[in-house]
């Protein structure tokens, strides 16, 4: 029995997740989710990374991230 085919992961469908526990703390990168649209990414981020009492969580499309310093 063959395994189900997975769609290739593209930068457009990967969302980086950042969160903080207190407003005086910086946002921390807590992980990433792969979803086809923003609404699904928000739901996934909340359900996957809910182990901490975050006061703020944001998602950013990986494609929107730009390098400030390149090697």
Q: Residue ranges of the alpha helices (H) in 1-71?
A: 38-48
Entry pTM: 0.79
**Greatest distance between any 2 Cα atoms in the chain:** 53
Q: In this model, does residue 6 exceed pLDDT 80?
A: no
Domain ranges within the chain, ordered by starting residue = 11-53
Top pLDDT among 40 and 12 is at 40
pLDDT per residue as tens digits for the range 14-69: 999 999 999 999 999 999 999 999 999 999 999 999 999 999 999 999 999 999 99
């Amino acid at each position: 029995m063959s395994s189900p085919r997975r769609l290739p992961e593209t930068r457009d469908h990967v969302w980086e997740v950042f969160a903080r526990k207190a407003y005086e703390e910086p946002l921390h990168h807590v992980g990433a989710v792969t979803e086809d649209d923003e609404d699904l990414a928000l739901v996934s981020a909340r359900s996957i990374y809910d182990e901490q009492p975050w006061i703020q969580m944001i998602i950013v499309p990986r494609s929107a991230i730009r390098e400030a310093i390149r090697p």
